[in-house]
Amino acid sequence: NAGVTQTPKFQVLKTGQSMTLQCAQDMNHEYMSWYRQDPGMGLRLIHYSVGAGITDQGEVPNGYNVSRSTTEDFPLRLLSAAPSQTSVYFCASSPRRGDSNQPQHFGDGTRLSIL
């Protein structure tokens, strides 16, 4: 039982490049989400999914796309990387939707730098 696995752990991109951050969970959780964490700020929700085939926008969705074709995987795509997207990205999952009384399980993050 690996929990939430994020790959890669580190990535450097050039402005304008695209890439996909991978997230997989093996706990059969319905709810998955992506956050970014910037210095001096709380985690901010980018996109979330309440189940396979269902996704929705969080607080800061611009510049990012997601899809949820299976319960286990929830990739985050940067369409055209910008320096403002330099951040640490966390994927999280929980058994049910975000306001349930269940803890979210977080991955260990992807540290992304955009030059």
Partner 1 sequence: KNQVEQSPQSLIILEGKNCTLQCNYTVSPFSNLRWYKQDTGRGPVSLTIMTFSENTKSNGRYTATLDADTKQSSLHITASQLSDSASYICVVSALGSYIPTFGRGTSLIVHP
CB of 6 to partner 1, least distance (A): 8
Does position 77 bind partner 1 by CB under 8 A?
A: no
Half-sphere exposure of 106 (CA within 13 A, CB side): 12
What residues contact residue 39 under an 8 Å CB cut-off, 6+ apart?
none
Rounded to whole angstroms, what are the CA distances from 87 to 26, 99, 107, 114, 115? 25, 25, 15, 9, 12
Question: What pairing do the DSSP bridges indicate for beta strands 10-13 and 110-114?
Answer: parallel
CB of 18 to partner 1, least distance (A): 24
Does position 10 bind partner 1 by CB under 8 A?
A: no
CB of 28 to partner 1, least distance (A): 18
How far is Cα 100 from Cα 105, in angstroms, rounded to an integer?
A: 13
**Out of 45, 61, 63, 67, which residue is the one contacting partner 1 (CB under 8 A)?**
45
**Out of 19, 27, 50, 82, which residue is the one contacting partner 1 (CB under 8 A)?**
50
Which residues make up the interface to partner 1 (CB under 8 A)? Answer: 4, 31, 40-45, 48, 50, 56, 58-59, 90, 92, 97-99, 101-109
